[in-house]
Amino acid sequence: MINSEFDPNSLSNPNNNIFGIPVTEEDARIVILPVPWEVTVSCSAGTARAPEHIFKASMQVDLYDADFKETWRQGFFIKPADKKILLKSDYLRKEAELYIDYISKGELVENNAFMTKSLKEINEGGIYMNKWVYEQTKELLTAGKLVGLLGGDHSTPLGYFKAVGEKYGDFGILQIDAHCDLRKAYEKFKYSHASIMYNALTEIDSIKKLVQIGIRDLGPEEMEFIQESSGRIITFFDKDIKERQYEGETWGKITDEIVSHLPAKVHLSFDIDGLDPKLCPNSGTPVHGGFETEQIYYLLKSIIKSGRQLIGFDLTEVGVGDTNWDANVGARVLFKLCNFLITSNDKPM
């Protein structure tokens, strides 16, 4: 808990932790694990630096929230970004850029020894990162912490999913995203950001359901994978959601349907490009369409009111731009997710 002498109305102190909250990791209820990794991003880079930008932007987030009663007083703490992970990401990102440029011209990887070596190093880097995330998350869960993961790109939470499955048993994932992320080894990167949900479903048996919302960009192989999942994957496409609303259905009614597909324990996987790109213009792969933040918050309220338990979240693909707008939105989304996670693990709203 936070010292009662702390004044939440005062100017945020950057010498405190995220959101200006004076708390240690030991005393915090929620620990946020930053994963500064963006090796396989397909379009724009920058998300590896998102945690530091979000930290700075969080100093402008007021702590009053009409939906919650000083939940922040239970403590939100972000760990320092691991420099070794960041340096490894930077090095492998340069390798990946050369590789992606090479294959985009129709060249064969097996004909080039350097590209073959680069691909091997990049895939080994993904294994290293996944293992690191798993170990970090498992340690925090064992210590009794609620855990949020802050990317980095969307490849980052696979190790987190594995640790969550060991801690909580069977669970489902609610994925907010413009993309399905169901590609098998996209661009031959086994742990590509575009393959996170394929890898999660094929490697983690405790994930019993994947409910995707806001999807508006996918390939035919991904559609086939959804159709052959025997209901393990339920996808609410952005186009269909909007058409239903145009014809008079309320977001509340659609939300009820989304929630009905979720199991008792739910992990939220929030790729910020699931939002309207006016809110995240510098995200790695922005796509027109998407949600307003309040629509997502309404959905999360409905999940908690239904009696389902939110067991964790990851927030990924927050971009870095000249105006810091993406970090501003990312920080406010992160604050809300922390509040929802604590509330879900205390009592229903």
Pull the structure tokens for residue 287: 């796509």
Beta-sheet pairing, 146-151 with 76-78: unpaired
Pull the structure tokens for residue 302: 């409905």
CA-based torsion, 50, 52, 56, 60: positive or negative: positive
Assess whether pLDDT exceeds 60 at residue 349. Answer: no
User: Which of 230, 194, 190, 193 shows the shortest CA–CA distance to 210?
Assistant: 230
Q: What is the pLDDT of residues 128-145, one digit of tens each?
A: 999 999 999 999 999 999
Q: What is the pLDDT of residues 285-321, one digit of tens each?
A: 889 999 999 999 999 999 999 999 999 999 999 999 8
Report the pLDDT averaged over residues 225-248: 98
User: Which of 336, 315, 237, 320 shows the shortest CA–CA distance to 281?
Assistant: 320
| pLDDT value of residue 5 | 81
For the chain, the farthest-separated pair of C-alpha atoms sits apart, in whole angstroms, at: 66
Q: What is the pLDDT of residues 158-187, one digit of tens each?
A: 999 999 999 999 999 999 999 999 999 999
User: CA separation (Å) from 147 to 46, 82, 144?
Assistant: 23, 16, 9
Report the pLDDT averaged over residues 47-60: 96
| pLDDT value of residue 348 | 53
Residue-by-residue DSSP string for 227-264:
HTSTTSEEEEEHHHHHHHHHTT--HHHHHHHHHHTS-S
Residue-by-residue DSSP string for 141-199:
HHTT-EEEEEESSTTTTHHHHHHHHHHH-SEEEEEE-SB----SSGGG-TT-GGGHHHH
Q: Please report which confidence band the pLDDT of residue 2 belongs to, taking 50, 70 and 90 as the band edges.
A: confident
Q: What is the pLDDT of residues 76-92, one digit of tens each?
A: 999 999 999 999 999 99
CA–CA separation, 241 and 247 (whole Å):
10
SS3 26: coil
pTM score > 0.85 for this model?
yes
Q: What is the pLDDT of residues 88-112, one digit of tens each?
A: 999 999 999 999 999 999 889 999 9
Q: What is the pLDDT of residues 264-284, one digit of tens each?
A: 999 999 999 999 999 999 998
Superfamily of domain 18-87+133-344: Ureohydrolase domain (3.40.800.10)
Residues 6+ apart with CB under 8 A from 143: none
| pLDDT value of residue 281 | 93
SS3 347: coil
* Percentage, residues of the chain above pLDDT 90: 89
Per-domain residue ranges of the chain: 18-87+133-344
| pLDDT value of residue 284 | 83
Helix pair 325-344, 293-305: axis angle to 10 deg: 10
CA–CA separation, 157 and 314 (whole Å):
7
Assess whether pLDDT exceeds 80 at residue 42. Answer: no
35-46 CB burial, b ≥16 within 10 A, e <16: bbbbbbbbebbb
Assess whether pLDDT exceeds 70 at residue 208. Answer: yes
Q: What are phi and psi of 235, to 5 degrees?
A: -120, 125
Beta-sheet pairing, 207-215 with 171-176: parallel
Assess whether pLDDT exceeds 70 at residue 347. Answer: no
| pLDDT value of residue 45 | 80
Q: Please report which confidence band the pLDDT of residue 43 belongs to, taking 50, 70 and 90 as the band edges.
A: confident
CB 280 within 8 A of CB 272: yes
Report the pLDDT averaged over residues 317-339: 95
Assess whether pLDDT exceeds 60 at residue 257. Answer: yes
Q: Which residue has the tokens 């004044």?
A: 7
